[in-house]
């Protein structure tokens, strides 16, 4: 599953794909572009789309880079390795896993996809923005704290 989270509203645009390759990711980028094609800022200019992504190979494929270069309103931000917790869409993925997938019984991929689509539709009907419970300084302090053990053996 690929998902884009609107941080202002909590709404999710998602795509269920059979494989997480660059081809599927490009199709998802096109879906986002279509979804937000008419989005403009206060001055009537096309809204910048900030994509916060992990360092997955499909996100850095040459064809993906070329598509992004041809669509300059898409701004890409890569999170550090092992820091997926910093990406709010990962919080949403965790909710999907706990509320729609864990302990579920799915007779087929089609059944699983149907339940995921129903979850996404229900989520968007009651969407709300996520609220960080810690300040940026608290988060950065924890992220940058020194290690407490010596890993050199």
Per-residue pLDDT tens digits for 99-119:
999 988 999 999 999 999 999
127 within 8 A of 119, measured Cβ to Cβ: no
Residue in the structure block whose two tokens are 């019984």: 105
The mean pLDDT value for 24-35 works out to 96
Q: Which pLDDT score, from 0 to 100, does residue 71 have? A: 96
Q: Which pLDDT score, from 0 to 100, does residue 93 have? A: 92
Q: Sign of torsion, CA 51 20 16 91?
A: negative
Query: Bridge partners of 77?
Result: 52
Query: In terms of Cα–Cα distance, which of 83, 96, 70 is closest to 5?
Result: 96
pLDDT at position 59 over 80: yes
User: Which comes out higher in pLDDT, residue 76 or 148?
Assistant: 76
Specify the pTM: 0.80
The mean pLDDT value for 135-145 works out to 81
User: Which comes out higher in pLDDT, residue 86 or 103?
Assistant: 103
Residue in the structure block whose two tokens are 């609220």: 131
Q: Which pLDDT score, from 0 to 100, does residue 32 have? A: 96
CATH topology (fold) of 2-143: Nucleotidyltransferase; domain 5 (3.30.420)
């Amino acid at each position: 599953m690929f998902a884009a989270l609107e941080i202002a509203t909590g709404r999710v645009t998602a795509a269920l794909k059979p494989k997480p390759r660059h081809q599927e990711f490009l199709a998802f980028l096109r879906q986002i572009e279509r979804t937000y094609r008419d989005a403009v800022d206060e001055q009537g200019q096309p809204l910048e789309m900030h994509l916060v992504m992990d360092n997955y190979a499909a996100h850095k494929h040459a064809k993906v880079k070329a598509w992004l270069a041809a669509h300059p309103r898409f701004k890409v931000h890569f999170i550090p390795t092992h820091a997926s917790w910093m990406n709010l869409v990962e919080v949403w993925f965790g909710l999907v896993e706990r509320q729609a997938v864990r302990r579920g019984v799915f007779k087929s991929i089609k059944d699983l996809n149907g339940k995921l689509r129903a979850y996404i539709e229900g989520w968007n009907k009651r969407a709300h923005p996520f609220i960080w419970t810690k300040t940026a300084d608290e988060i950065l302090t924890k992220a940058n704290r020194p290690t407490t053990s010596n890993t050199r053996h």
